[in-house]
Amino acid sequence: MIAPAIRRLGPIDQADYRIIRLDALKHNPEAFGSTFEIEQARPIAAFE
């Protein structure tokens, strides 16, 4: 088994991070201080 790598996210990761965050907000909104609707409206540049 390959060990997972831990690293800081960079600009290349922003689209993937946005998808993961929006999915989490949709399914577990109580874990966040924002809402799916607010985060979905934010431009992708806000996820840098």
Domain ranges of the chain: 11-47
In angstroms, the CA 35 to CA 5 distance is 29
**Quick one: tokens of 35?**
């809402």
Identify the CA nearest to 44 among candidates 11, 1, 8, 6. Answer: 11
User: In 1-48, which ranges are continuous DSSP H helix?
Assistant: 14-27, 36-41
pLDDT given at position 27: 96
- Measured between alpha carbons, how far is 32 from 25 in angstroms, rounded to an integer? 7
**pLDDT tens for each residue of the chain, 48 residues long:** 899 999 999 989 999 999 999 999 999 999 999 999 999 999 988 877
- Report the pLDDT value the prediction gives residue 47, as an integer from 0 to 100: 79
Predicted TM-score (pTM) of the model is: 0.78
